[in-house]
């Protein structure tokens, strides 16, 4: 393995790269209701772990269901409801997303995507942001349950692809309190992307927060600001 330690940028997806939180939550709640849990809690922040598979597992246990939670059934139901949700609630990428990703790649950062949502939806959301999730490092709630497991696995995969035993700098980029808590639990840097409510909460918790990626590239950390190409000095004549 090479001794070069890669700088890794880990991205959340919903609310970070795409304005897809509402569509996702509509589809996810509908998928959970297909299980006919007697007292489903829809305050997602009240669950122990903030990922689709972890919420299913906790709701399954609370409902007294036997055996392991039926993740395959959730996947099928979610995919169906998600197709309907994105028709009713279409969304776009967060402004500046594509340019920011291109800037990081051009400056040698290894990119990885880590989300608490299910893989099928994550692939579509990334496509909206111009990213082919099948060709990228992508870890989702379809594979692991806790946010720490998901983000940690993404970092491990990034190191493997870079041929390094350990990472250099790791910065986690997200829009939610869970993203910030996960980054702190793992000892990673954090950069917040947030609108009024979520952004204010992240700032209260001491995070650096920007409205979108255009703002990151204009007023964010120096290494994330594209440098203007110097204009050539015209040759003197005469």
Does some domain include residue 212?
yes
Does some domain include residue 211?
yes
* pLDDT at res. 227: 65
Task: Single out the residue in 45, 62, 88 at which a domain terminates.
Answer: 88
Does some domain include residue 234?
no
* pTM of the predicted model as reported, rounded to 2 decimal places: 0.91
158 lies in the same domain as 181: yes
Query: What is the band of 187 on the pLDDT scale with cuts at 50, 70, 90?
Result: very high
215 lies in the same domain as 99: yes
Q: What is the CA radius of gyration of the chain?
A: 20
Percent of the chain whose pLDDT exceeds 90: 87
* pLDDT at res. 236: 52
Query: 110 near 158, Cβ under 8 Å?
Result: yes
123 lies in the same domain as 184: yes
SS3 72: helix
Please identify which residue in the block is written with the tokens 């954090």: 190
60 lies in the same domain as 142: no
**Per-residue pLDDT at 234 exceeds 50:** yes
Tell me the per-residue pLDDT of 4-56, one tens digit each, with 9 for 90 and over.
Answer: 899 999 999 999 999 999 999 999 999 999 999 999 999 999 999 999 999 99
How big is the chain, counted in residues? 238
167 lies in the same domain as 107: yes
Task: Single out the residue in 88, 104, 125 at which a domain terminates.
Answer: 88
Mean pLDDT across the stretch 54-66?
97
Does some domain include residue 170?
yes
119 lies in the same domain as 193: yes
**Pairing relation of β-strands 170-174 and 189-193?**
parallel
Does some domain include residue 238?
no
131 lies in the same domain as 217: yes
Does some domain include residue 237?
no
Query: How many folded domains does the chain comprise?
Result: 2
* pLDDT at res. 222: 81
**Per-residue pLDDT at 1 exceeds 50:** no
**Per-residue pLDDT at 196 exceeds 80:** no
**Per-residue pLDDT at 120 exceeds 80:** yes
Mean pLDDT across the stretch 143-152?
98
101 lies in the same domain as 65: no
Mean pLDDT across the stretch 140-144?
98
Greater pLDDT, 36 or 224: 36
Instruction: Tell me the residue range of the domain where 65 lies.
Output: 21-88
106 lies in the same domain as 179: yes
44 lies in the same domain as 147: no
118 lies in the same domain as 66: no
CA atoms of 128 and 71, how far apart (whole Å): 25
Mean pLDDT across the stretch 135-157?
98
List the structure tokens of 12: 């959340």
146 lies in the same domain as 47: no
Mean pLDDT score of the chain: 93
> 96: domain CATH number?
3.40.50.1000
Task: Single out the residue in 88, 103, 132 at which a domain terminates.
Answer: 88
């Amino acid at each position: 393995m090479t001794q070069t330690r890669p700088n890794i940028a880990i991205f959340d997806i919903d609310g970070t790269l795409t304005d897809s939180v509402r569509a996702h939550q509509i589809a996810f709640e509908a998928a959970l209701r297909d299980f006919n849990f007697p007292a489903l809690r829809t305050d997602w922040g009240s669950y122990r772990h903030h990922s689709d598979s972890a919420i299913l597992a906790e709701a399954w246990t609370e409902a007294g269901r036997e055996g392991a939670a039926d993740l395959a059934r959730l996947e099928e139901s979610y995919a169906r409801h998600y197709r309907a949700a994105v028709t009713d609630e279409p969304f776009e990428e967060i402004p500046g997303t594509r340019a920011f990703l291109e800037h990081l790649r051009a400056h040698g950062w290894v990119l990885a995507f880590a989300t608490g949502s299910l893989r099928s939806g994550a692939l579509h959301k990334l496509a909206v942001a111009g990213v082919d999730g099948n060709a990228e490092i992508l870890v989702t709630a379809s594979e692991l349950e806790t946010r720490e497991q998901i983000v940690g696995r993404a970092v491990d995969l990034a190191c493997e692809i870079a041929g390094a035993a350990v990472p250099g700098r790791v910065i986690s980029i997200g829009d939610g309190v869970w993203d910030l808590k996960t980054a702190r639990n793992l000892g990673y840097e954090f950069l917040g992307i947030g609108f009024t409510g979520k952004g204010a909460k992240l700032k209260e918790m001491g995070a650096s927060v920007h409205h979108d990626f255009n703002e990151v590239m204009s007023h964010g950390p120096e290494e994330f600001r594209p440098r203007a190409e110097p204009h050539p000095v015209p040759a003197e004549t005469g």
